[in-house]
Chain A
Amino acid sequence: MVVRGVKKLWTLWVFMLMGAVACSDSDPSTEEPIDDFDRSEILVNWADNIIIPNYQDYVESLTDLKAAITTFGQTSSADLLADVREAWLEAYLDWQRVSMFEIGKAESVSLRNFTNIYPADIQKIDENINTGSYNLELPSTNDEQGFPALDYLLYGKADTDEGTVAILSTPAHKEYLQQLVERLHNLASEVLNHWTSGYRDTFVANNGSSATSSLNKLANDFMFYYEKSLRAGKVGIPAGVFSTSRLPEKVEARFSGKSKLLFLESLDAVQDFFNGTGSSNTGKSFAHYLDYLNTIKEGEDLSALINSQLNLARQKAEMLNSDFAAQIDDNNVSMLETYDELQKVVVLLKVDMFQALSIQVDFVDADGD
């Protein structure tokens, strides 16, 4: 009897399994995790202390830039041009503090591509201004708009301020300036509104460990930004790391020569995000998560290693010419040394940190062993 019962049990098992095969791959539910470290706190800190305040600052400075350009459009003068330039730089610096958050609306509208693709296509920009026919919503016009296009118009049209004012005060130029700032402002506001009208809660609630969870996704966005935009875009590519010759014309903000300032802001933003430092206070982020996991694993103090390597890179960069293009022409070796220090951070983040957090680099949707 017992034996028969066991056999029935086996048959039952097998049929249950056949059922399980048919409906496998269910998503793990998103219940609140109950353990020593609450990962939701990271998401809350990111959203409320870093991402949303940074977008608010950014939209605010774009509003100022818009106002300055409108004023300049009414009465053009060298003083008012200076105001526009100042507001432009302010907004450009604030942009460095949101660029890495290519998630949610920012991702779906390709915010980074429409805001800061450089070098700008100056022929195309002049053509747009002359013909007056262009559609800045087309992806093909990435390099005809955003901050690099403004950099060209505000700094690259003439050698003197008076000359620049003379050119920019023509109706066609005024119109293009206006269009550029409108577009920046619209995109940024759209992203900010999305965050404040519901997405923040979605983001925080997606606190699981799956590949599409907020933590994993933003970790990858962060990594992508650091590697592609910061390390390669701002330093490596112009210094000729990826080409047979140097390409100083590919620095960020080449006409105004503000590349170092923008780079340092971006590096600060990356480090602040890593440490959870926001405008008002410091909350939880990767650094704390690494420290927590280290109490389990008793390995190296990764958060300290990453911070000190970021500091090393900053020290190198601080000694560079304020215009990276001049530095590259002058003495590219120090530029390459800066790149090397930045590169070491990639290894620490992408290999060591991702392994410690058990996050897949660029999530690969395939089976494992």
Chain B
Amino acid sequence: MLSRFQGYIDKNAEAAPLAVFRIFFGVMMFLSIVRFWSYGWIDKLYIQPRFFFSYYGFEFVKPLGSYTYLLFALCAMAALAVAAGYRYRLAIITFFLSFTYIELMDKTTYLNHYYFISLLSFLMIFLPAHRYFSLDVRLGYAKPVQYVPQWSLDSVKLLLGIVYFYAGLAKLNSDWLIHAMPLKIWLPSKFDIPFLGQWLQQEWAHYTFSWLGALYDLTIPFLLLYKRTRPWAFLAVVVFHVLTRVLFPIGMFPYIMIVSATIFFNAQWHHKMLSVLARLIRVNKAKCDNGLVMAPTKMQLAKIVLVPFFVLQLLIPFRHYLYPGELFWTEEGYRFSWRVMLMEKAGYASFKVVDKESGQRFYVNNADFLTPFQEKQMATQPDFILEYAHFLKQHFEAQGHKNLGVFVESYVALNGRRSRPYIDPKVDLTQQQESFKHKDWILPFEDEIKGL
């Protein structure tokens, strides 16, 4: 057993796929940032709001005012450097840190996609992606090798596989499979999509999309692994992601996933790809095809870091079992678990500020403090509600009020169920503290969603 594992660790593979992946990744990230910037989202999401929601333990990470643009510029330049393989290690570390910092600035914008990018860029810090077809090689900063350890390629495939497979597991629940929710809400509203629009009104279409979606997520990593099924699997990847792009506002993610899937291809494809690129930019790729194998001693740190990294990745999505109550309702353990597109959740929260001495009270106009986007996210997530309540206390106490309590009257509707009270309106939220413990002031869901 151990020897088999050692045998695997020592196995080598062509470096070209990793180089292609590095180029795709860098270019996609660069385009994503340019797109984000050009839409004015930096200003809208990170500069205009007067309050930002922090991740527990990362309260110190805040936008940097107008320097936030510099942060994005740094991140974009790092992405380009990654693509070019220029000072790769420094570039990918800079990218990982700046990108993750951006994501930590306000959890309002949390997306599984962004979390995926943070994880992937962290993983790439430890991969020898710059030892083939890179500026580092050309400039002599790194020695070119034609072969790298097989596991460095496989670790990327593993991360991709986890994302898909866990997203598939999360779909094995009664709302998704039995009730075709939330697609039953989302699809009919896309009535104006050419050709597809008319079918999206039909119940059978909602079920077909739900079941095929779950099946796709669960099987695609394996179908991509096997040579026989690979061409069809890749076709499915393209169709699936293009379809999601047409139906939902999910930005660059579909394209990122499609190009990422090319890492599963045979190395010949990557060689061809790089030859075309080499001709375009007039360089000679042959220098890298030197038959050299990367020295195994180089990768000790990676082994130490990546084994616990992947163990954590396999465990974190299941942490919701540590909490009582319905996961979709409480969202305790919902993030960082590849639960995508599972919920249509809408809420309304109105906050009552009470002077506990005089008994005077008034309601807060959320628009005074939050953007519509923040208010929308806040209203359905208990940790947001709690943090905002503490902010309100601080804000009004700074205005001279004393001894304030903050209460919330809130309603949430989940996957087409009728709205119902969400947070216990009798609980003074300023007396509650954020922690990893269960929040017992979330009112019960009074329904059951069966499944994982």
List A residues at the B interface (Cβ < 8 Å): 6-7, 9-11, 13-14, 17, 20-21, 24, 28-31, 33-37, 39, 207-210, 232, 236, 240-245, 293, 296-297, 299-300, 302, 305, 343, 346-348, 350-352, 354-369
Contacts and interface: CB of A to CB of B under 8 A. Distances in A.
Contacts of B28: 21
B31 interface: yes
A244 B201 contact: no
A355 B346 contact: yes
A364 B373 contact: yes
Contacts of A14: 259, 262, 273
A31 to B, nearest CB: 6
Contact of A35 (B191, B245, B376, B418): B191
Contacts of B252: 21, 24, 367
A365 B39 CA distance: 9
A361 B192 contact: no
A136 B186 CA distance: 46
B441 interface: no
Nearest to A215: B189
A192 B28 CA distance: 49
A7 B41 CA distance: 39
B162 to A, nearest CB: 16
Contact of A209 (B45, B189, B206, B416): B189
Given A31-B192, A209-B191, A364-B372, 8 more contacts: A10-B262, A11-B269, A17-B258, A297-B185, A305-B418, A352-B419, A369-B111, A369-B113
**Majority SS at the chain A contact face:** loop
Contact of B362 (A9, A241, A350, A369): A241
A351 B185 contact: no
A7 B259 CA distance: 15
Contacts of A11: 269, 272-273
Given A209-B189, A369-B341, A361 B372 contact: yes
7 contacts: A10-B231, A10-B269, A13-B234, A14-B273, A244-B355, A363-B372, A367-B250
B197 A35 contact: yes
B10 interface: no
A344 to B, nearest CB: 9
Nearest to A348: B419
B385 to A, nearest CB: 15
Contacts of A361: 346, 372, 376
B398 to A, nearest CB: 16
A277 B246 CA distance: 36
B154 interface: no
A20 B255 contact: yes
Contacts of B412: 351
Interface string B199-216: 011010010000000000
